[in-house]
Amino acid sequence: MVSRPDDAVSAAQGGGPLTADPKLPPTAVDAAVSEAEDRKWTPAKIALWSAIALLGGVAWFMLAIVRGETVNAIWFVFASVCTYLIAYRFYSKVIERLITKPDDRRATPAEYKADGKDYVRTDRNVLFGHHFAAIAGAGPLVGPVIAAQMGYLPGTMWIILGVVFAGAVQDYLVMFFSMRRGGRSLGQMAREELGVIGGTAALVATLLIMVIIVAILALVVVNALGESPWGVFSVGTTIPIALFMGVYLRYLRPGKVMEVSLIGFVLLMAAIIGGGAVAGTEWGAAMFHLDKVTIAWGLIIYGFIAAILPVWLLLAPRDYLSTFMKIGVIGMLAVAIIVVRPEINVPAFSEFASRDNGPVFSGALFPFLFVTIACGALSGFHALIASGTTPKLIEKERQTRFIGYGGMLMESFVAIMALVAALSIDRGIYFAMNAPAALTGGTVETAAVWVNSLGLSGVNLTPDMLAQTAKDVGEQSIISRSGGAPTLAVGLAHIMQQFIGGPAMMAFWYHFAIMFEALFILTAVDAGTRVARFMLQDSIGNVIPKFKEHSWRIGAWLTTAVMVAAWGAVLMMGVTDPLGGINTLLPLFGISNQLLAAIALSVCMAIAAKRGSFKYLWIIVVPLAFAAVVTITASFQKIFATTPAVGYFANNAAFSKALADGKTSFGSAKTQAAMEAVVRNTMIQGILSIVFVVLSLIVIVAAILATIKAFRDHSAGMPMVDNEDRPRASRVFAPAGLIPTPSERELMAKWDELPADQRLGKAGHH
Amino acid sequence: MGAGAVGFRGFATYFKGIMGADAYTKYLEHHNASGHAEAPMTEREFWRDRTDRQDSNPQGRCC
């Protein structure tokens, strides 16, 4: 028998806040009935789950044990999907039973705060798609590509096991706890649960992390568009397209979202095709051939203007475009991978898996693989989305498992597809594309010589192969196009052309991929700057109250400028870094993202402890401990490592010493100015690492103290004070998951019989 | 044919929901159900209000 946390409250029949309206059918399936349904194993059910387990087992066996010359991509699909299904069916139910304990008799914020605008009950399947579109962006497309340096197995295992035991758990818990609190944000929950110090540290950490994440996403775009006239043209065109859509929606045909998205989509396709034509002309190539520094400046100016423009003009229309593309592209990629089933000839563990000096990202497998792949396995940023918009739209409490846990499994699958796409290209080309120019030398000849000198098994790269690939995708060069996006685009073009269009379409697919990644990132940059600006305004507002007035233009512009300057500085540092930008900054991205995850899990741990779930706290403690150990180890290595390739300060010292010795070139820095840049950059990166880790430790310690206090209070029999909104009886019913169970169907039928005017919760509302 | 059309319509409705294109319909539903005295916002007013509120209440997008 499942005990429900609110049974005590409503135990007195006809009393309590959760007493249902006797005129309505039940608002929840009886706990004992759903329990019995869960426990009843019919032969068909046993056969189905045995088949899933068997297929998953075979797929893992093919990936991890057999390891032939090549491995077919379909095994990645089977291994991941079967694992997700089993984790969803069994593990997420354990979490539901032991930690969250949802109660469908309780109204959700979308019901008791319903306003038709922000708080709207939304069909669970629609909300699943909506939430997925909000959490999935460029992150899961970038990390796995870069992590492919280590071979396919470490990345695959971390993406799949990480999501099951950490990422999806975090998303689910944060969403559920936020829902119980009327959709409060992670920052507000941290303050409530951890007190002023823990709460403030969480807030400052969130702000800093936001800056880093925006900067590094921007760096990915800059690297993808540098010296690519086609890319610059087609991505640049998205801005006037979005402006047009904004005006269309505001003045011409308000509310015609699907119509304008279709128009926008057609214009986007035209921009991609037109980009090829423009880049083919002499003037086009001259005009849109921009170096990375220029593009970075363009992006900084764009970021500032975009963040102060009204939402309707640029952000809202681009959001529509980006959602439209996201769902379409991801669906298409899944179909293409299943249809094409590319053979992958990357080893399970590459030559770099046991070393700490890989050219794509430096550092050993532990901990750096686990920070390189953040989104897709465990992404702290999701905690900001899962607290906020989505909890205000949930119809019934038990749906949080499907939307929160299930939504994150979907994102993990995107990461697996990105990994497959990156693995499907030739390994030699992969390294030539992802190593910094300081190593590849920047030309096809030097790059081929360098890649062949790595001694990778089965790799024999010729300059011709590099030149031909560049030509196929319509670029002048693909050497040292680090950042993940171009590699993914080549992989995607490689798979998609076998599916639609043949080799002639490769250039189109490449720029299509670059375009949609840039689209996600530009939206994230714009929205991230806005959110950060508001956080800064509120913080300054504590000292100078005028800043709290969000409509105060000068204040808004000043704080926007500060935030843009902050991420712009980090971006510029990455673009001009002689060591190759992505190589040094990506770890910082992953570390900060997962420190945010550690913060979110800490808050969840404190909340779960206050609810008295001590026995099962390991469900949260295990991923929290893992995230904390990984990120803190990674930070410590970045801070204290004596290998210059890994440690920021070791690098700083090496370059400072070289400068002091009067050397004019050192390592990959060929000039004194470049050496000074390295000294400056490593110092900033080192200090940022220290700040992050200190802030996160404060939050984790605060959460541990709150947990211990809750344990003591609990043992002393003191009543728990939780910060949930007070329970209110629900007046609606909807099934919890994708497919309604028999008992849910029965209830739905009862609700369908109800006259329409009684069905919607007619609360006394004016 | 029939099943295909139904399937397509279902998908279109679903996709619309994900995009948030049905927000005004849902607002009207809410408005009518909750028995407000005043008239609901027009479609134009609703969408204006929606984006203008986002100006002062920004939401992050994920990476």
Residues B27-39 have a mean pLDDT of 88
Between β-strands A343-344 and A71-72, what pairing exists: parallel, antiparallel or unpaired? Answer: antiparallel
Non-local (6+) Cβ contacts of A421 within 8 A are A145, A333, A337, A488, A491, A492, A494, A495
Using 50, 70 and 90 to split pLDDT, how confident is the model at A613? confident
Q: How far is B2 from chain A (nearest CA, A)?
A: 23
Query: Which residues face A106 on adjacent strands?
Result: A729
On the question of pLDDT at A577 being above 50, the answer is: yes
Non-local (6+) Cβ contacts of A122 within 8 A are A110, A130, A393, A394, A395, B17, B26
Structure tokens at A410: 């979907």
Which residues of B, range 16-45, sit inside 8 Å of A by Cβ?
16-21, 23-24, 26-31, 33-37, 43-44
pLDDT tens readout for residues A559-573: 999 999 999 999 999
Q: Are A287 and A234 in contact (CB under 8 A)?
A: no
Q: What percent of chain B has pLDDT over 70?
A: 98
Q: What's the rounded Cα separation, in Å, for the pair A199 and A213? A: 21
Q: What's the rounded Cα separation, in Å, for the pair A345 and A459? A: 10
Q: Are A345 and B24 in contact (CB under 8 A)?
A: no
pLDDT of residue A551: 83
Phi, psi dihedral angles at A71 (to 5 degrees) = -135, 140
Map out the domains of chain A as residue ranges: 21-41+723-757
Task: State whether B36 and A258 contact (CB < 8 Å).
Answer: no
Task: Residue B17: list chain A partners with CB under 8 A.
Answer: 122-123, 126, 129-130
pLDDT tens readout for residues A100-122: 999 999 999 999 999 999 999 99
Q: Alpha carbon of A163 to those of A155, A179, A537: distances in Å? A: 12, 21, 34
Using 50, 70 and 90 to split pLDDT, how confident is the model at A10? very low
Helical axes A582-610 vs A186-225, angle rounded to 10°: 160
Task: State whether B47 and A114 contact (CB < 8 Å).
Answer: no
Using 50, 70 and 90 to split pLDDT, how confident is the model at A762? very low
Residues A680-707 have a mean pLDDT of 91
What number of H helices and E strands is found in chain B? 3, 0
On the question of pLDDT at A735 being above 60, the answer is: yes
Q: How far is B15 from chain A (nearest CA, A)?
A: 8
Q: What's the rounded Cα separation, in Å, for the pair A72 and A74? A: 5
Using 50, 70 and 90 to split pLDDT, how confident is the model at A149? very high
The residue whose two tokens read 């971390």 is A158
Q: What is the mean pLDDT of chain A?
A: 91
pLDDT of residue B1: 56
pLDDT of residue B22: 93
On the question of pLDDT at A4 being above 70, the answer is: no
Phi, psi dihedral angles at A426 (to 5 degrees) = -60, 135
Residues A499-515 have a mean pLDDT of 93
pLDDT of residue A760: 60
pLDDT of residue A668: 76
Model ipTM value: 0.94
The residue whose two tokens read 């029965």 is A746
pLDDT of residue A766: 35
Alpha helices by DSSP H, listed for A62-185, are 74-86, 92-95, 109-112, 124-135, 139-147, 152-162, 168-180
Q: What's the rounded Cα separation, in Å, for the pair A574 and A587? A: 12
On the question of pLDDT at A674 being above 60, the answer is: yes
Task: Residue A530: list chain B partners with CB under 8 A.
Answer: 58
Exposure class string for A567-598: b at 16+ Cβ within 10 A, else e? bbebbbbbbbbbbbbbbbbbbbbbbbbbbbbb
pLDDT of residue A468: 96
Task: State whether A327 and B20 contact (CB < 8 Å).
Answer: no
pLDDT of residue A303: 95
Phi, psi dihedral angles at A461 (to 5 degrees) = -95, 135
Task: Residue A379: list chain B partners with CB under 8 A.
Answer: 62-63
pLDDT of residue A485: 94
Q: What percent of chain A has pLDDT over 70?
A: 97
Closest partner CB to A255 (pick from B47, B56, B59): B47
Task: Residue A114: list chain B partners with CB under 8 A.
Answer: 30, 34
Instruction: Give the residue from chain A lying closest to B37, CA to CA.
Output: A766
Residues A594-601 have a mean pLDDT of 93
